Each structure stands twice: as structure tokens, then as C-alpha cells.
Chains A and B, each alone.
Chain A
Amino acid sequence: MNSMKHISYIFFPIFMLILITGCNKKKSSISTSTPAPATATATANTAQREVKQSAEFSIIDFDALTNCTQVKSDSLRIIYLDYFDAINTGFIIPTNRQNEKGRFLCKFKIKNNSGSPKRFSYKIFYQNESYKFPEKDTVNGNFNPYAFENFYGSWSDSTVLFRTTSNIPSDGKFHVINDSINITGNPRNEEMCYFKGKNNRWKRNPRVGIYSFLLAVTSEENIRNNNIPSAVQNISLRVTDNFIHPYFYFKYGEGEKLNNTLSLISKTWLKVVANPDLGSGIFVDNKQFTSLKDNRYSGSNCGTDTNLFRKSGFEQFLHYIDASTRLDNIPVIADVLKDNYSKRDYNWNRGFYSKEELIGTTPMKALIPCETVYSDPVNKKIIIHNPKAEPAKWKKENVGIISRHGLCYGKIRVKAKLTELLNKNNMWNGLTNAIWLINQADDGKWNLRRPCQKEGYMATYWGGENDKRVNRVGYSEIDFEILKTPAYCPDQFFPPLYKNPTNNPRDINSWNTRLPDEITSNDGNITVACTNWDMACWEPENFGAGCNTVKYGDKIFEAHRWNHTYRALTEKTPAPDDSLFGSKYYYFEIDWRPEEIIWRIGPEPDQMHVVGYMNNKVTSIPNNQMLLIVTQEFHNTKWWPGSPYQQDNIPFPANDIFGEIYDVTIE
């Protein structure tokens, strides 16, 4: 795996070009005189009029996407995931709502060179190329076992092996073969996705990103004589516990050397993008609410009904409230963002309330469905709000939404205007704006991370240092958490020295203590904390505790882990609150790749800048299916050592605190 790590997906097209050029050298191929379209990518251009030839036949002009009309470029088609009913079926690409047949029509041309009419056998495969491990180990040329994790497939009915053409006359002409294919979840029909006999394809949804299509054609004799392994003909089969990757088999493996066997990459590629309609409603999971009968906020666009179940991309997220988040909060209700709330207000309230006056509580979660989340069908946005507290109804209530369709990998970009965190006095309102990913339904073994090869993972995300270690674990989390807290690194600045107040009402300076320079110099900034929960898997070669640098281009990030059993690695970057949450909107992007995670923020998609970077040398990158969550949360600041303001000393909100999510794009 490590040998593959240097391959960056930025250079993917070049890589493909080299790959295909390599194939051309091994097979006798004939290029036709048809000029390559000038705008096509290099990879596709080369493949476009590529002729593959064997003793018995030649193939040319493989196009897997003849009916895919939405064009990104000459060689690239684009399709958006159809969310309707995908909760039941998993994503199907395309659905019959997207084209007439619900399938991509494929065609290729074949010429019989054998001298007598013949049938030929063929099969079409596809593979997600954006988020994959290279099939071939770049060091030893062998199969890269991590490529088994790649999302590849063929016809969804795995019992359909190689299909056979009609009798092709040996007339020196190319004959068109038509077929079709779609991309579905669990393409290898793996048992782990089955429940009570049903193949829950959503448990291994198709990945977003760019797909290639591979045509493999062989002689009937090769099929009849089992010269092609059954695990290639039927990709759901295994040989000694392992699948056989068809791309490797036909491009680099035995299939590449097999007589009268040719493979050809489709001249058109497919880009799959997820862009859920935020106005399509919010589903409510009735298991999570105890007061479902209270439907005063439920309606056609938020609730539990079947239609919403089938079409909604998001549901109301209810936080798990850990008892350790208990607050003994000052009995003050104020609108920190609007009431001129100041550091002096904070200091007085910190100093001059006795324990009996405090309000014991934990951050709350919604009790009534749909009260704090709203899907706007007109403007196609989701509005969330932390509800206000009232005298005798003191609460700090978290709010959020969670996507319902798990995905593995992708560039997840959220356009949002979440609440401002600091007021004009740069006083924090106690909220953490979070845009994060979490593993989907960890209640089963179907969504475990790959084994940790060194000591294993910590078994639970909440356990202590003495938690047992396990080979595989379901928990994964990748976070943007944005709040008022200092950086842990570099080490010399942590922790900031906060003067202890002595709370003498006759001396303002005794209770109105100043924050240290390193905090006030960042007064208008909040901290963008980028975290990967790797469950303390020690496999990465540079796994470490404390502050360690990670380079990304010319940027250097300081990654921090409290100790060797701490389950998360965090990088923090200060950013102006006014920009992130004071502007009309801002973009937050988690670029989750098989071997690295890149966190970016920016005012527009083409003006993003990197605020966090980790790779598999410093942290274990999750490979299980995850969901997107957008929340405004009240954290216990004990989770964030060194924070200048403690949650207990921040007032309860006097007004609803709104956040709006305008767009979610995963590509």
C-alpha cells in the first residue's frame, strides 16, 4: 500500500494515458485515420479510435454511454445521483427516471478475423477511478490487494457471466454489438450487504467521481474451456477468500496474455455527482423521538411519511448526549450575538454566581420532530436553528441534519451560512459549527473499517486509555469543528495562561481579568479544527503523539494527538469569523480520498484554500461508508482544553440561532 501512496489523483488522467499507451504496446493495435476530438482528455482521445486485434477478432469504438446526454466534455458524461427511493434500492446509475431504460446503452464494433462465422463472448465492467487504489503495485507490478476495496462491477445480475454475440460473419467488416449496463450498489453482491435474504445494495453505494468502463471480449472456446476463471466471469465469486479484480486481470494479469482475449476502455467516461435536493424535505426517524405524537411542526416537508422516506436526502439529526457533557450553567439568558455581550459581562457572570444559582443541564436535543429543522422547497435550502431558552426553560439545544445515504469517499462540499460565533466584542456564543462525516449505522458488521495491521483499533470511541484493541472497528469520523478555542500547536503556546480571578467586587481588575496576548491577538478569529478519528490505529508509519508536522505542498500543518491511545488527530487553523459566518455564505469541503483527507474552505468553489491535510502516513484513513452531518452544537469546553470561554459561563440563548444550508455537492 505504501508504495502506491505517492500517486496523486491530480495526475490521474496522465496516469491513464500512460496505462493505455502501455496496453497499446503489448497488443497489436491499429489506429484508424479518424482524428481524435481536440477537446477530449488525453486518456479518452487515445482510446477513442483504438482498435484491438487478436488472431480471431478485432474490436473498436467501445462506448458505454451512448445514451448519456449530459456532457461534461467530449469524453466525459455527467450524471447526478437520483435520490428517489435510493434509501431502499441504493443508488442506481442511471435510474429509469433518468433515462427510458434505466440503463446506459453500450455499443462496440467487432470484426471476425477467423475466416468463418463465429460467436464471441464479452463482458462489460466498470470501476470508479477517482477514489480507488491502483490495481498494480507500482514497485513489484503485482496486484495491489487494497484495490479489492475499489468500487468496480459489471452487470448487476452476477449470474450473467459473459454474454455471447450473434454469429459474426468473417466478412472483413466491423459489426455493431449493442448492450446496456447500469451501476448499482454492492456490485459484487457481497454477503455482508444481505439482510434476511435481501441484497441491501445501499450498504455499498456506488461512489461519486469518475467511472471508466472496460470491455472484455474473448472467444467462446476460452469460456467453454474455463480459460477465464469463474471469479472473473462472475465477480461475486472468490478464489481462496479473494475476488479477482477484472481490471487487473485483463489489463495486467493473465487475461492480458490469454489468446483471443481483448479488453478495451470505453471512449466515454462517466462523472457521478451527488447533489441532494435540500428542498425535498426532511425525514424524521421515529425511533429517535419519544414524543412523535406531537406533530405540530410536522408536515409534508418534514416528518415520517413514506414519501419523505423515499425522497429525502436528509433527516433530522439528534445528538447523542453523553453524560460527561453536563454543564452547570450560569442562570443568564442573553443574545450574545446581539446584546453587546462583552468579555466583562462574561467575567462578571463567571465570578459572581454561586453554585446554587447555576442551572444543571446537558446540551439538549430536540424533543419535538421538525421544530428546529426546516426544508425550504422554494429556495431549496435547509434551515436549522438552536431554539431560544426562556426563564425556567433553560436549555442549550443542539440542532442538525444528517444525510441518509452512505457514501465512501468523495469531495464533500457544503455551501452554508451557519450562525456567526463571535459578536462585535469577539465574545463567543458557545456554539460549535460542525460539518462532519460519521460512519453509517455501526450496528452491524457490514460497515467495518479495513483491519488495522498494527495492534488494532481502540474498540470504542468513548472508551479510555485501557480500552481493548480490536482488528476492525466500525467507528469513523471526519470533522470540521469550528469554534472559539486556541491551537494546541506549536507546543510553546499551549496552554495559554489565563489569570485566575479573585472576584472582589471592589476591584474590577480582580474579576475582569484580561485574556493573554496570544488569545487577544486572534480575537476576531475562530478556530477551524480538522479532525480524523483514526481510533488510534498505529499502522501509519508516522503515527505520533503531541504536535507533529504534516506537509501539503508548500503548506505545513501541525497535527496534534494527546497521546498514543487518543483516537483522533486534529489540526487547527484560525480563520475570521466574519468571513466564514458573517458573509452571505461560505464553502466547507472535506476531500476524502483513499489515502488522504484534505479540508478546504473558501468563499467560492474556485477560491478554496486548504486548512487541513492528513495522509495515511500519519493517520488511518477510513474506508467505510459515511454520512454527512451539519450541526450547530453546544460543546462542553472541557473537550477543548485551553478555551478562553467556558461553556458553563456562557448564557443560554435569548433568541433562536439560525443556520442555513444552501447546497451539498459530493463529487
Chain B
Amino acid sequence: MKKSLYILIFSVLGIFYIGSGIYFYKKSLRRQPKKPKESVILEVMPLSLIVMKELFNDFENENSLLRYSLSTKRSFSGKRSVKLDSNIEFGAEIVNSFSEIPYLNNLREIEISMKYWNEKINGEVIWVLEIDGQDGKLLSWEGDVMPDTLNKWGNYTVRFKIKNDFLKNSNRVKMYAWNKNKSTFYVDDIRVQFRGIENIYNTSLIVNNIKQSSFHFDLENDSLLNNIGSLTDELSLSGKYSSVMKGRDQTSVLICKNLERVVNDTLRNLTASVWIYPLTENVNCVLTLEVRSSDDEQIYWSGKSTEKMNLKARQWQKLNSLFNIEPEDYLKFNPDDEICIYLNNKSDATVYADDFDVSFGPTPSRPGNQTIVDMNAREGGVYNYDRYHPPYERSFMQLTDIGNFDSPFLIGSDSIAQAFLNPYDLLFSGNFSGNAVLTDELLSINSKDLTLFHYCESKNRFVVDGVIPFDKKNFPYDNITTGDFNGDGKNEILLLSSGTSSMYSISAPPKSSCSDNINGISLNEMWKGKLENSTMKYFTGNYLGNNADELLLAGKQGNIILKGFENGTWKTILEENVPRVIFSDSSTGVSIKYLSDVHENIISIYSEHKIIKGQILDFKNNKLNRGPMPDESSLFNFFSSDDQLFPIRAKNSKREDIFSYNNRWRFELKLITHDKKGFYISSIPEFTGYVSDQNPKYYEIVRLVPGNFTGNKTELLCILRNCADNDFDGMNCKKFDSLNDLPNRIQVYSLPK
């Protein structure tokens, strides 16, 4: 009896001991050690921009003696710190190769924080971040002055933004203190965080404050995971690795996120799925959602069990779960709480898990305030369009066959596939050769060549008139514009440069054939000289109503200069000061026949205190009139200062309307017209005639060139590209990506008449 009692007591203690061991072992797996003695990778964990890599040094390691001027006189933690004094100008150096940073392309900033102590006011210690190239060449140097602490330990944190250009594995970053005044100075506990955007399959950008909230984890990389000890290459659903739970109460990898990373306010629901491979049937696993506070206290738990699902043995089976969190729970959550998803094995069998998907929160709500139209409130079910409010009428642009077999090339027939136009090229339409009377030619300028195209009706395709070498060495420019400045009916090419500007015309033999690369095309210099300030914002148009176009230069200081090309040189016609804001960097504009059907006006759109405003410039009798449109912001509501604006001939009128294109939030075209009451959106043009669902507005890069290429109508030449770059920011794409179901294209659409 007594023996049995002992056995029982020891059994209970044993179970408790083993249970505790398992608990602490599990905990140790989840919360990995954070403070090693050397500058080593601690862990990869998500923060606001997620921390891709972290280094920490408390200088307690003796091996560092050779590298650091260590001192035991002061220390914030432990016994040592780094000392800089009158003999040591540079110190506390940390060097890291970019090749050691996972997902380098996602890196956006480096944050350095430390404890420091200085013994002198105005000691001027500068914390420096250098980026060196492969050959040790200095690529970037940035410094930040550290404030004084005067004989006490202070906190210092600095962040350096890292440009994409520097994100090469061959580069390295060097961080150190520059003791400029050689004062006595101590540094301890330096922490360096390499922060970047998350490596996710959905997107590399966060747009309109919509948080990235869908994640796929194929477990092929252990970054962003906890309990990575469970990863195994024994079997997997995808790739090579899965997470194994060999027995009861084992957990899979943990996918943890800070709340503020994944939802805009709080987490009301979460959907998760995981593939499960049990070695025996009817295993019980629980797909678990756990929320822990910043001090590691569990504040929410929910799970979906497979107990009644009759899971089969040795098969990958999917488990989906929706976690709806009640208000009494989610109201307790804080932005820095951590949400973890994992699979918990409640059976004795071995279970593998792979390919987690997690989607936080509901589908992001649409931008905007509220629906304006209520069809139920309308008698007869008919809505009268409101010129000032969406939804607007739609019009349709029809695809024009340009004989390129809907290819990525402008010319894709007659066994020719050429002119894979780059959307970042300079592209102009107009009559450059003098041959285009009823139609427009297309002029393309890249860093090497100038190429002229025209559409040949008999061949039903574009042809190349000619290619002229056009390197920047021989043709320097900051900007290029075109116009018929001398009134000869042809468009000239004006190269605006901070140095010497120049103007050229294209000579070509009279149009006689549709042959490609006709002989005799050349570039003729018409003028070379200095313009007032070629970096000013510029507009070209026929502002005076004569036969020639003028050049308007607008400075940020508010001065505008109207120049005309007469007798082989540019002459100032008018000079005046206007409020500078209307021609700021963030303004846009267009020259259209707005007030007159003879001469053009400049419609200038600008942003002032986040309110879109506009002005109409009218040149009459050699005098500038601003207006007559009053400066009423509501009249310009339909514009944005980053719109691309094109003139388009108005219906049954010699005056022109405005075609507006913007791709800030979405691909958006607007046909903006005007009457006595001002501007309004007459329609939203949509594309029709494209193959399958390859709508031009779905492309990541859409370059539009207006012109009259194939006949007497307004057309849009569309260069449609997708980008293969992971870090594509919408501005520059290094590598285009032709998707199978959305291949790169060059198309022409005719605008609604």
C-alpha cells in the first residue's frame, strides 16, 4: 500500500515534471533567445516595417577586444562598453554585407539604436552609415549628429532610408561613430534592425492605407515563422519543407503578426487554412488562433478541431477555418498585440502541416464616403446624371486594327516584329516630316535613337520612316517638346537644356511609298542657343492664334515668359509674374482651344493646401489674362495635379475638350468637357474590342500617346506592359513581364466621337 502511494506520488511528480518540461521547451521554441554575445542574427520577426534582420552587440565578448576599443570604466549593461576619446576618432563599427540580408530587395531602412554617454557638451559625435560597393567604393554616406547627454547614459535612435539603387548583394553597409571633436564618449548595447516590406505574394506596396492582409506560407523559408524547429524535409505538399508535429501537444510553426501590421483598426475576423497530412486516420488537430499582449499574456484563443472530420491517413487534406471574434474580445486588443496562427496536435499520431494561408479581417472596404445613387428612390427607375458627381456616363473606345497582330510590337506583320516601344521613351505625335497632312506621325526618342513612324493605310500597318542616331552626348537635353514653332506646317523638336538648347526639324522625301526605312530622312538643326531657363515648366501651343506655336516657360517663382520663334531665333513676346503655385512641380496643365476656336489657352491645374485649383491663361492682344474662369475650386474637382491631360476635339465644335489620364489609385480616364458653367466629366471612356479580358486598364504600366494615326479621328496609342520587378514602384520598371494571360501589347483605340 505504502509502496503504491510512493509510486503514485512519484508518478504525479514525474508527469508534472515532464509536462513542465514540455511546456517550457515549447515556450523556448516559440520565443527564441534574443540576446547573444556577438553581432549575430537574432531572429526574424515582423514589426511596422518588418524587421528582416537584427544585430545586437553589448560588447561583452572578449573576442571583440581586437575590433573595439573596449572599456570597463562604464557600461550600460554587463561590464563593458566601447570608448572613444582624443585618440580614437572612429569606433563602434558594425559592418554587414547586404548578401546576408534575406529578401534584400524588400529592404527599406536601417534603424540603429544604442546607449551612449558623453563627457562634454558640443562633443559633436556623428553616427555614420556608409554603403560601399564591391570594390570598396563609397556609394553613399549619411551622418546624424548625436545629441549630448553629459555624463549620463542616454538613448539614441536613428533611421536611414536605403535607396533601391543600393540593394545589391555585392554592397555592404558600415555603421560607426565619428568622434569629430575627439571628446570622450562611450557606446553600449547597439541594436541594428534591417527593416523592409514583407515578402508576400500579393503585393510589394501598401496603397491607400490598405494593409496587406493575406499571407501564404509554403514553409520553404523560415523567415517570419516561429518554432522553426518543427520544419522538416521528410515530406511536403509544396516545395521541400513542411512542419511536423510528432505527438500530442506538439505545435506546428507559428505564424505571428502584430495586429497593426495586418488590419487598420482591430481584428474582427480571420480566415485561415492549412494542409494536413496525418499518419493515422481520425487525428485530432486544432487550427489555433491566439492573441497575446505585448507582455506575452494570452488574451484570446480560438480553435477549429478536426476531431469530427474523419481525416484520412497519409493524405494531404485541407482544413479551412473562420474565426469570428466577438466585440467583447476584439475591443481588448491593442495594435501591438501579436496574433499567432498554428496547428496544435491533440493526438498521439505524427502530423505534418504545410502551406498555411491566412487572411486577416474582411475584404478591405472601398474608398469613398457613400453611395450617391439610390435607384429605389427614383420613380421609373431612371437616374439623371449629375455632372458633378459620380457615377458618370460611359463611352467606349474601339480597338483599331493596326496590323500588328495585337503584339507587343508596333509593327508585327510582313515578317517584321519591331518597335517594342518602351513606355518610358519620349513619344510624340504630329507632322514631323511634312508628309502627314491628315494623320499624325509617331516620333519615338530613346537614349540612342530617334525613330519616326507613320501608319500606312495601304499596308494597314505602321512603317518605320527612319532611325536617326540621337545620343545625349550630341543632343543634350533636359526636356524635349515639339510644336510647329516656325509655322511651316511641320512639327519641330525643341531640346530644352540647362546648357545650350537646340531645335531641329526632320527632313524626309515626299511620302511616296510605304517602305520601311526610306532613304533621305535626316535631322536638321534649326536653332541652337540659350533659353531663359530651360528647367522652367513649359507649355507649347498656338496661344496667339497665328500660324505658329509658341513656347511658354513658367518659373516656380511665378514668372512666365511667352516666346515665339521668328527669323530663326526665339523672341520674347510677353513676360509677366503670376502666383508661382500654379506652375509648381505638382501642377499639371494642357493647351487647348477653350475660350476660342482660333487660339489655345493653358489650363493649369495645381494643388494648394490639398485643394485642387485651376487657372485658365488666355493671351489676347499680347496681354495675359488669367481667367475669366474664377478661381473656384469646385470647378476643378475633376482634375488632379498628377493627371496627364491631352486635348481632344470636342463634338461638333472647333474647340477642344480634355482627356485626362491618371493611374494613381487605378487606371482612370476621363473625358472632361466644358460649358459656361465650367468643366464637367462628360464620360468615362472604356476600352472595347480587346482580346479576351486583356483590358488595357489592367496592365501595370500603361503609356498613352494621343494622336490621329490612322485616320481623321482622335486615337490613343497604348503601350501596355507589366513589370517583373519585385520592387516596382510604378515609376520605373527594369524588366517587363509578358504574362500568358495578359501579354504585353501595343494597341490603338479610337476615342468616342
Contact = CB atoms under 8 A, between A and B. Distances in A.
Nearest to A331: B391
Nearest to B208: A503
A513 B359 CA distance: 12
Interface in A331-378: 331, 340-342, 344-345, 348, 350-362, 364, 367
Contacts of A100: none
Interface string B320-341: 1010000000000000000000
Given A331-B391, A492-B317, A510-B202, 15 more contacts: A344-B698, A344-B741, A352-B665, A357-B390, A360-B371, A361-B375, A361-B376, A425-B693, A495-B320, A499-B359, A500-B214, A502-B210, A506-B728, A507-B728, A516-B357
A518 B729 CA distance: 33
Interface in B358-412: 358-364, 366-376, 381-385, 389-391, 393-394
Contacts of B317: 492
A508 interface: yes
A506 B730 contact: yes
B695 interface: yes
Contacts of B204: 507
Contacts of A341: 693
Contacts of A509: 201-203
Given A392-B385, A497-B273, A498-B271, A506 B214 contact: no
Nearest to A357: B390
A497 B320 contact: yes
Contacts of B306: 492
B205 interface: yes
Interface string B199-218: 00111111110111110100
B469 to A, nearest CB: 33
B182 interface: no
Nearest to B317: A492
B290 interface: no
A502 B209 CA distance: 9
A342 B693 contact: yes
A299 B121 CA distance: 100
9 contacts: A344-B698, A351-B666, A354-B367, A359-B373, A493-B318, A499-B214, A508-B722, A509-B201, A509-B203
A507 B205 contact: yes
A454 interface: no
B370 A342 contact: no
Contact of B742 (A354, A361, A507, A508): A508
A358 B369 CA distance: 11
B494 interface: no
Given A395-B375, A509-B201, A503 B207 contact: yes
B372 A356 contact: yes
Main secondary structure of the interface of B (DSSP, over half): loop
Interface in B202-255: 202-208, 210-214, 216
A582 to B, nearest CB: 21
A37 interface: no
Given A348-B695, A491-B308, A507-B204, A392 B382 contact: yes
State which size class the interface on A falls in.
Answer: 35 or more
Contacts of A502: 202-203, 205-207, 210-214, 364
B205 A510 contact: yes
Nearest to A427: B693
Given A503-B208, A518-B318, A356 B667 contact: no
Nearest to A486: B320
A342 B361 CA distance: 26
Nearest to B384: A392
A645 to B, nearest CB: 12
Contacts of B671: none
A338 to B, nearest CB: 13
Interface of B: 201-208, 210-214, 216, 271-273, 306, 308-309, 311, 317-320, 322, 357-364, 366-376, 381-385, 389-391, 393-394, 663, 665-667, 692-693, 695, 697-698, 700-701, 722-723, 728-730, 739, 741-742
A391 B390 CA distance: 13
Contacts of B368: 354-357
A241 interface: no
A344 B367 CA distance: 20
Nearest to B274: A497
Contacts of A451: none
B609 to A, nearest CB: 22
A463 interface: no
Nearest to B379: A367
Nearest to A362: B376
Minimum-distance CB pairs A-B, first 6: A355-B368, A510-B203, A354-B368, A342-B693, A499-B214, A352-B666
A506 B723 contact: yes
Interface string A365-401: 0010000000000000000000000011111000000
Contact of B318 (A328, A362, A364, A492): A492
A492 B310 CA distance: 10
A497 B270 CA distance: 9
A496 interface: yes
A496 to B, nearest CB: 6
A359 B693 contact: no
B692 A513 contact: no
Given A356-B370, A499-B357, A505 B695 contact: no
B319 A492 contact: yes
A425 B694 CA distance: 13
B354 to A, nearest CB: 13
B390 A356 contact: yes
A117 interface: no
Contacts of B393: 391-392
A590 to B, nearest CB: 31
A494 B271 CA distance: 10
A501 B272 contact: no
Given A506-B729, A517-B318, A498 B359 contact: yes
Contacts of B211: 502
A564 B228 CA distance: 42
A490 interface: yes
Nearest to A505: B666
Nearest to B204: A507
Q: Which of B368, B698, B700 has the most CB of A within 10 A?
A: B698
A502 B214 CA distance: 9
B363 A500 contact: yes
Given A490-B309, A493-B320, A504 B374 contact: no
A491 B306 CA distance: 9
Q: Which of A340, A341, A358, A499 has the most CB of B within 10 A?
A: A499
A516 B275 CA distance: 12
Nearest to A350: B363
B700 A393 contact: no
Contact of B739 (A340, A496, A506, A508): A508
Contact of A355 (B308, B366, B700, B728): B366
A189 to B, nearest CB: 46
Contacts of B319: 492
B374 A357 contact: no
A362 B381 CA distance: 12
Contacts of B663: 505-506
A367 B378 CA distance: 13
A357 B670 CA distance: 14
Nearest to A495: B322
Interface string A470-504: 00000000000000000000111111111111111
Given A392-B383, A492-B320, A507 B695 contact: no
B371 A328 contact: yes
Q: Which of A340, A357, A513, A518 has the most CB of B within 10 A?
A: A357
Nearest to B393: A391
Contacts of A367: 381
A5 B385 CA distance: 62
Q: Which of B206, B306, B320 has the most CB of A within 10 A?
A: B320
B320 A506 contact: no
Contacts of B271: 495, 497-498
Contacts of B202: 499, 501-502, 507, 509-510, 513
